Amino acid sequence: MRALKIGLLGCGTVGQGFVRLLNEERFRDLRIRRILVRDLSKRRPGVDRSLLTTNAIEVLDDCDLVVELIGGVHSAGAYVRRALRNGCDVVTANKALLADSGRDLFAVARQSGARIGFEASVCGGIPVIRAIERGLAGDTIESITGILNGTCNYILTRIEENGADFAAALRLAQERGFAEADATLDVTGVDALQKLQILCELAFGSSHRWVRVHGIDDVRREEIEQARSRRSVIRHVASARRVPGGVELRVERRELPETHPLASVRDENNAVIVRGKAVGEMLFVGKGAGSLPTAAAVLSDVIEIASVPRAAAMVI
């Protein structure tokens, strides 16, 4: 593993988890040089305050690799583009940025010879991106179906098992750290769509797409109870499949029989079923929300970039 000077953009929930894992695992060759934050006075347990700065240039222009965890599209996009143009590798968990500007960013990376790691952008700690990019590179993927948003799944599980209404289940998800104070992107289905778009880009390329999005913000306890009376459950499901002329994307609530592989996925867990023409169905299940699962996926990308020389990565 080659030594890397890491510039960290953002030190919120996932950023602090990343710092914690890096410190715990004692990766001596991986060193955080600077950390960009908005508020220097905010308490961040386990984070060396001397590394903090509010000046992005101090982070971007003096590192080998940038880890982007600030979220959003505009500022994050500007920072990532600058890093890539400098020939600096980037690791990001930002699904909104990749869904909006992924093709452009990868084009910039190709021009400079830099690499982008983005395993953490979809399904937290589940290595589904690596599976599609590499493990299934020799197959033709026919469809992707999954529970891609841990917040929605946690809310639906709490309504199902505790009899809570939507508002109470959302508050509990926020208290547990599975939902942001403003959970609009989660409960309306936008977050799941962004993740599905990333998976589709890998699996299907630039084929024409039809999209339908429906969230869980209007779910009622009666809907879930009626499903249970039919030995079924309600899950928020994102799916993409090849159809004549392109790819169809759907994000919606579905009533699934108890025997369906996704029916047993509870709380903040995610699951993805990938169907390949040759291999058939493959199921990936794991933690989809929370600090450490996402931080672990970020760290795995950092380790891979540190371990694989650029020339070898191009061959792969």
Q: What is the pLDDT of residues 41-93, one digit of tens each?
A: 999 999 999 999 999 999 999 899 999 999 999 999 999 999 999 999 999 99
Confidence grade of residue 315 (pLDDT, cut at 50, 70, 90): very low
Q: What does the pLDDT read at residue 311?
A: 55
**Catalytic: 195?**
yes
For residue 167, count other CB atoms closer than 10 A to its CB.
Answer: 9
Same domain, 65 and 115: yes
Domain count, the chain: 2
Based on the fold, state whether residues 148 and 274 are members of the same structural domain.
yes
Mean of pLDDT over the chain: 92
Supply the CATH number for residue 141's domain: 3.30.360.10
Q: Indicate the pLDDT class of residue 290, thresholds 50, 70 and 90.
A: confident
Task: Check pLDDT > 80 for residue 309.
Answer: no
Residues 284 and 142 grouped into a single domain: yes
Instruction: Looking at the structure, tell me whether residues 233 and 182 fall in a common domain.
Output: yes
Catalytic residue (choose from 5, 42, 195, 287): 195
Task: Give CA angle at 92 (91, 94), nearest 5°.
Answer: 170
**pTM across the whole model:** 0.89
pLDDT, tens digit, for every residue of 118-127? Answer: 999 998 889 9
152 lies in the same domain as 165: yes
Q: Are residues 88 and 222 in the same domain?
A: no
Domain of 10, CATH number, reads 3.40.50.720
The verdict on 110 and 168 lying in the same domain is no
Helix (H), strand (E), coil (C) string for 71-132: CCCHHHHHHHHHHHHCCCEEEECCHHHHHHHHHHHHHHHHHHCCCEECHHHCCCCCCHHHHH
Q: Name which of 98, 75, 49, 86 is nearest 197 in CA terms.
A: 98
In the predicted structure, residue 29 carries a pLDDT above the cut 90: no
Number of C-beta neighbours around residue 27 at 10 A: 17
- What contacts 8, CB < 8 A, 6 or more positions away? 15, 18, 19, 32, 34, 35, 36, 59, 66, 67, 69
Please indicate, yes or no, whether residues 252 and 280 belong to a single structural domain of this protein: yes
Specify the residue for token string 């830099």. 114
| Domain assignment of residue 257, given as a range | 128-288
Per residue in 256-279, pLDDT tens? 999 999 999 999 999 999 999 999
101 & 249 share domain: no
Assess whether 56 and 148 both reside in one domain.
Answer: no
pLDDT digits (tens, 9 = 90+) for 194-241: 999 999 999 998 667 889 999 999 999 999 999 999 999 999 999 999
Classify residue 312 as exposed, middle or buried by CB count within 10 Å of its CB (0-12, 13-18, 19+): exposed
* 169 and 272 part of one domain: yes
Which phi and psi (to 5°) does residue 210 adopt? -115, 135
In DSSP terms, 7 is beta-bridged to 34, 66
135 and 281 fall within a common domain: yes
